[in-house]
Amino acid sequence: MKYLFYILTFLSISAVHSVAQSNLQEMPAPLIKLYSPKDYKAHGQNFAIVQNKQGVLYFGNFSGVLEYDGVFWKTIPTKNITKVSALFLDSTQRVMVGANGEFGYLAPDKSGSYNFVSLSNAERDFGAVISIFQTADGIYFVAKNKIFLWNGKKLKSWKTQESITSAFLANNIIYVFKTGIGLTRFDHGNYLKFPLAKETENIQDANSVLFLNGKTFITTSHQGIFTFVNGEIGHLQSPANEYLNGKEIFSGKVMNGNTLGIFASGGNFISIHPENGEINSRVRENDRFVGERVNYWIQDRMGGLWMALNNGIAQMAITSPISEYSENENLRGQINDIFRFDGKLFTATSSGLYYLNNGKFLSFPSIKVAVWSLTGANGILYAATSRGVYSISKGNKAAPLSDDFTFCIYQSKKIRSKLYFGLENGLAELDLSKGGRIKNIPGITGQIFKMAEDQDGNLWLESQTNGIFKFDQDTQKVIDYSAGKGLPTRLLNRISVGPAGLLVSNIKGVFHYEKTTDRFEPFTAFNKDKSAVWKSLISQDSRGDIWTTNGDEKFVTLYQKQTNRRYKEVTVPFLPLADRTFNVIYPDANNIVWFGGADGMIRFDRNQNISYSLPYAAFIRKITAKGDTVLFNGFKEAAKPGEVSTKLNYKFNDISFEFSGASLIPDDNLLFQYYLENFDKTWSVWTPKYLKEYTNLPAGNYKFRVKAQNVYNNQSDEASFDFTILSPLYQRWWAMLIYLVALIGGSLIIRQKRIEFVANKTRNLESMINERTEEVVQQKEELEKQSEELTATNDQLERIDEFVKSINSEVNTGKLFQMVLDRLCLFQNVDSASGLIYNKLTKNYQFIALAGKVDIASVENVSFSYEQAAHRYIDSATEVFEDIFVKNDFLYENLDNSIDSLFAPKSLITIVIRVESEVKSFITMENMEHSHAFGPRDFNMVRNLKEHLIGAYIKTSILENLENTLSNLKSTQQELIRQEKLASVGQLTKGIVDRILNPLNYINNFSQSSKSLLEEIEEVTDKYQSGFSEEDQDDLGSGVVMLKKNLEKIYEHGASTTRIVKDMQKLLKGKSTEFLVTELNPFLETKAKTALTEVLNDYKGCDLHLDFDLYKVPVKVSLLPYEFSEVLQNLISNACYAVIEKSKIAKDYVPEVSIKTAMTREGIRIQLRDNGKGIPQKEIEQIFSPFFTTKPTSKGTGLGLYMSKDIVEYHKGKMSINSKDGEYTIVEILLPVVS
């Protein structure tokens, strides 16, 4: 099951029902590796493949059985050295072998090397073995003229008159295709032919019989796929057969227990749904397989395909998200830009302009120069080249617009009719609405390599050596941002605009433009330590993710946007591309990203969510002693429990190891790391070498360990070999005994002569030594004790001093706690530390910082009441000093929180921070490995630190409160200035609005009265119809109809103008100044229901229900009730309009509008969602602009969302919209809460 996820990802490849046909046509062929006869040193033709559970592959070859473990190829010949035509892996993982005129199995010899063991010594003249399979009876070997059954002991056979061309086992039924007879069922010597359905042609051959979901499928070479219908063989009516028409089917297999996989000529591979015959997925035709026959294929444990070919072996990585276009697909030159226009993918290269068409790149013959940049405007593609700018119409006709060397081209978003050209020396513009004349813009010199436009319509210009410039499109003013604006250098600046704003990268790091200060500030979201990171390419996609390369244009990195305004760094999927240089990164639709550079174009599919850390085995393949003595020659993995160490004579103390790893990734450059216990000091560095030699090993016990690492930095399971080198003869125990006896004898003689002389001196000295020794020992013990105490005290004071200095410099509570915990983790015996702080809003204790192995995001939603915190950290603990508690053998009750699965320390010190008798915080120090890990020295240190911690906490709390107060005062001051300015403008505008309303009322009233008068005239003329000629009647009738329509239009547009003017009155009306502190949930529920009732008065007969999912804990906010009710009125009105409009066109559609509230770190989030018609992405960018509306003129004014956002921001909140066209719209409001 651990490989199932990898294999199932294949089903997503070019899925027919989920990926557009155009995307399938744009898909390059998967990564393919071909193994030639030179690689495996055997015959070119191959016939069969199996893979055992270790991952080792076996291939049937003309030269025998090929064995491949990811590094080494080995040929295992049969007894008669014949062609191996069939392989099978039995239930014991034994490889069964069928060859020409012989069959048997592979078995290891004493060294572990596999050899062929024949089972057919007594059999003759049965031809080549076609197929092998296993049933409850035993293992069947099906040959051309005979069928054999081996039950593990005896061999039984049945001879056949007709030649057998193929045989299969499906659903425990043995199928045999016989020449001249067709497909039959074999049962212990009996053959039963299957009948054909009416009007079904005779089956000429069968290359696979498959059973899936209660159905049996038969694939043929040229007749397509058949199945059983009411016990008869009939042709499968399905799109798969239509697709396979004209192609030769090689063979099929059941994949993953739910899909049919079929290989056909031309490199075609498809998967078929067994129920309806639809094609689930397919791999596009591959030119590398044209004319090549796939004799056999399997899907390996990693999800890739292995194919036995007539001239080699192929490996296809169908699950990899990486595929490649190169010169094989007619793509020439270095890629400079990639751009999708009018549904086609265009590439700008150093050799010209290309576009992708059905898997091949086609060039523009008229553009054979270096193309640097592409853009599109008004249905025309524009290309910037070294010979000027070209325009390409929809008919792919290219026409020159200029002859100046042009590096880049850009269409303005603010002024859609304008194109800007980055030249070798300056900037030019082309206004398409004014005759198409190109005009140079004064004040800009030097090479302009790239342009980008921010949300305010400012154009940012990138140069190679002159820095960054901002160009105002309205005033044509140019500002140099390379001096005094935060950018430290003018050289090699690269720009990017996207969801993260304007980013600039150079050798000094990445910088973000801050509009409020009009400066560039360091952008530290990529690196936690805030150090400079040099990025060459930076590309932002619509999801807010950022794609980069390093300063040398290599090593692609994806920074995925996280909810905490940080980015998650992702590099593993791109490690195979680490050595390539890229000039462009182009995020495309459907989660496709294109990379272009000197080595071609890479397509990366983010929908392919494969695992890069699947387990695989490392092997010790060969162990050799003294150069030529083979000790082992098989597959050695990790040593098993109880395995006896191999004993080697001392003469074998020169030993070498060969090793491999079954990663089996195409073009995988495996690295290895090894370690010989009791000899090597540590593990070796990673190396591509798969051989290690040791010489002159001393006698002793050893364990050789090795592991592999593939291109994705995924390490294998470890392989090991225990061995003992015995001591040489002269070091054996009996030799040592002889030496000892001789030594003792000589020593006794010498000793006897000296003993008398020494004895006298010894007696005299003993008493003196004993006395002096006692004195010295006592003095030494006292000095050591004093030295230890002084050292400990000095070390403790130094740490405390450093600790206090660091925390006294911090003014932010969160950073203070993080700094405290990081410092505590440096203390001896402290593995991790945590800090809880009292939250006045929730009246609970929540984690504010963590240090150690657990990330703060893991406990983001964990909270404790005081009772729970006290029970966890204080109850049953020992109070060593005031508010300092210690626990050993830490136990806790399950609080149904994620914290219980993350923290289980063996020793715990808890510091309680009290301010004015209230517990404000708990700070803990944990040891995860040992009970009683903390001692008196630790307690004294904590006691000395506690008062400093309380003081630092009080100081930061006061400073934060002061900072918040100053911030509020500043905000109030700014709002007063804004209100004063608006009041003066509003007074003037209000007078204008009042003067407009009266004429509008006259227009509306007189249009209505004119309509009534016209109806009276029509009644009069109807009475005297006979007095008019037929021509006059027609003229009069058409005139009356035209007048009615004109009056209706006048009234409709007059009413629309009246609504706009009245909305402007609301906009100019002064806001309330008295905020009301109220509970949000009741207010929302009451006002929303009232608003829905009012809106539904305009949509009679509409059945719409408003759902609420409100935050369970009461939350108070400060509101202007009237203004915020207006916001709800506008949002609910928009939602009702969206769902009602969708209900007019969608069948079985149920309109839904819901309101949800949730608490976040920034405040309370209000989310209003509808499943209406949605908003197109291009309209979302303008949705908050005044007078912009997605409704018809008679329905909307374009001021509702503008006023709503203004009101929300007046509440110090935020408002945003997320929508998917045709599916849903979500409006989010974030408001600050009142403690």
pLDDT in tens, 358-375: 778 899 988 999 999 999
Give the three-class secondary structure for 42.
coil
| DSSP code, position 754 | H
Percentage, residues of the chain above pLDDT 70: 86
529: Cβ–Cβ under 8 A, 6 or more apart, which residues? none
Please check the confidence at residue 731 and state whether its pLDDT lies above 80: no
Query: Both 1138 and 1051 in a single domain?
Result: no
pLDDT in tens, 897-953: 556 666 678 888 899 888 888 888 999 988 888 888 888 888 888 888 888 888 888
Query: Both 692 and 822 in a single domain?
Result: no
Element spanning 84, H or E:
strand 84-89
Instruction: Look at residue 604 in the predicted model and tell me its pLDDT.
Output: 93
Q: Look at 285-299, 1112-1126, 1200-1214 and tell me which has the smallest mean pLDDT.
A: 285-299
Which pair of structure tokens corresponds to residue 1052? Answer: 């409709």
What pTM, to 2 d.p., does this model score?
Answer: 0.59
- Mean pLDDT value across residues 296-314: 91
- Mean pLDDT value across residues 878-882: 86
Closest to 204 (Cα-Cα) out of 167, 179, 186: 179
Instruction: Look at residue 900 in the predicted model and tell me its pLDDT.
Output: 62
Please check the confidence at residue 1229 and state whether its pLDDT lies above 90: yes
Instruction: Look at residue 986 in the predicted model and tell me its pLDDT.
Output: 53
Which pair of structure tokens corresponds to residue 1217? Answer: 């919209």
Please check the confidence at residue 170 and state whether its pLDDT lies above 80: yes
- Mean pLDDT value across residues 189-194: 92
| DSSP code, position 318 | T
Please check the confidence at residue 798 and state whether its pLDDT lies above 80: no
805: Cβ–Cβ under 8 A, 6 or more apart, which residues? none
CA 739, 743, 747 angle in degrees (round to 5)? 175
Instruction: Look at residue 384 in the predicted model and tell me its pLDDT.
Output: 95
Q: Does residue 501 lie in a domain region?
A: yes
Please check the confidence at residue 291 and state whether its pLDDT lies above 60: yes
Which residue would you say has higher pLDDT here, 761 or 1117? 1117
Query: Both 188 and 205 in a single domain?
Result: no
Q: State which residues form the domain around 129.
A: 43-193
Q: Does residue 1108 lie in a domain region?
A: yes
Instruction: Look at residue 307 in the predicted model and tell me its pLDDT.
Output: 93
Instruction: Look at residue 784 in the predicted model and tell me its pLDDT.
Output: 75
Q: Look at 553-557, 964-968, 1000-1004 and tell me which has the smallest mean pLDDT.
A: 1000-1004
pLDDT in tens, 1126-1181: 888 888 888 888 888 888 888 888 888 999 999 887 889 999 999 988 888 888 88
Quote the CA–CA distance of 945 and 942 in Å, as a whole number: 5
Q: State which of 879, 906, 934 marks the end of a domain.
A: 934
Instruction: Look at residue 14 in the predicted model and tell me its pLDDT.
Output: 37
Please check the confidence at residue 1203 and state whether its pLDDT lies above 70: yes
Q: Does residue 762 lie in a domain region?
A: no
pLDDT in tens, 576-597: 999 999 999 999 999 999 999 9
Which residue would you say has higher pLDDT here, 28 or 323? 323
CA-to-CA separations, 1127 to 665, 979, 1090, 1123, in angstroms, rounded = 57, 20, 13, 7
Which pair of structure tokens corresponds to residue 1057? Answer: 């103008």
Instruction: Look at residue 233 in the predicted model and tell me its pLDDT.
Output: 92
Query: Both 483 and 382 in a single domain?
Result: yes
Name the β-bridge partners of 603. 323, 594
pLDDT in tens, 99-142: 999 999 999 999 999 999 999 998 888 999 999 999 999 999 99
Instruction: Look at residue 17 in the predicted model and tell me its pLDDT.
Output: 38
Query: Both 114 and 255 in a single domain?
Result: no
Query: Both 250 and 375 in a single domain?
Result: no
Instruction: Look at residue 992 in the predicted model and tell me its pLDDT.
Output: 58
Q: State which of 731, 748, 775 marks the end of a domain.
A: 731
Query: Both 278 and 410 in a single domain?
Result: no
| DSSP code, position 819 | H
Q: Does residue 760 lie in a domain region?
A: no
Which pair of structure tokens corresponds to residue 1221? Answer: 């066209």
Query: Both 1100 and 1195 in a single domain?
Result: yes
Instruction: Look at residue 1149 in the predicted model and tell me its pLDDT.
Output: 84
Query: Both 541 and 413 in a single domain?
Result: yes
What is the pLDDT of the chain when averaged over all its residues?
Answer: 84
Query: Both 351 and 498 in a single domain?
Result: yes
Q: Does residue 306 lie in a domain region?
A: yes
Residue type, 1151: P
Please check the confidence at residue 1070 and state whether its pLDDT lies above 60: no
Q: Does residue 959 lie in a domain region?
A: no
* pLDDT band, residue 870 (cuts 50/70/90): confident
* Exposure string for 332-343, b = 16+ CB within 10 A, e = fewer: ebbbbbbbbbee
Residue type, 1185: S
Exposure on the CB side of residue 446, measured as CA atoms within 13 A: 17
Instruction: Look at residue 720 in the predicted model and tell me its pLDDT.
Output: 95
Instruction: Look at residue 365 in the predicted model and tell me its pLDDT.
Output: 87
**CATH number of domain containing 583:** 2.130.10.10
Exposure on the CB side of residue 193, measured as CA atoms within 13 A: 10
Instruction: Look at residue 8 in the predicted model and tell me its pLDDT.
Output: 33
Instruction: Look at residue 691 in the predicted model and tell me its pLDDT.
Output: 95
Q: Look at 431-440, 1015-1024, 1188-1197 and tell me which has the smallest mean pLDDT.
A: 1188-1197
Query: Both 502 and 394 in a single domain?
Result: yes
Query: Both 483 and 378 in a single domain?
Result: yes
**CATH number of domain containing 1115:** 3.30.565.10
Q: Does residue 120 lie in a domain region?
A: yes
Please check the confidence at residue 472 and state whether its pLDDT lies above 80: yes
Total of domains in the chain: 7
- 1108 φ, ψ (degrees, to nearest 5): -120, 135
**CATH number of domain containing 678:** 2.60.40.10
Ranked by mean pLDDT, the top range of 292-301, 842-851, 1071-1080 is: 292-301
Percentage, residues of the chain above pLDDT 90: 38
Please check the confidence at residue 277 and state whether its pLDDT lies above 50: yes
Pairing of strands 84-89, 232-235: unpaired
CB 663 within 8 A of CB 73: no
Q: Look at 329-338, 685-694, 1072-1081, 1146-1155 and tell me which has the smallest mean pLDDT.
A: 1072-1081
CA 741, 746, 748 angle in degrees (round to 5)? 95
Give the three-class secondary structure for 1191.
coil
Quote the CA–CA distance of 1119 and 1231 in Å, as a whole number: 10
Instruction: Look at residue 138 in the predicted model and tell me its pLDDT.
Output: 96
Q: State which of 1018, 1042, 1068 marks the end of a domain.
A: 1068
Instruction: Look at residue 1071 in the predicted model and tell me its pLDDT.
Output: 57
Instruction: Look at residue 5 in the predicted model and tell me its pLDDT.
Output: 33
* pLDDT band, residue 69 (cuts 50/70/90): very high
Q: Does residue 397 lie in a domain region?
A: yes
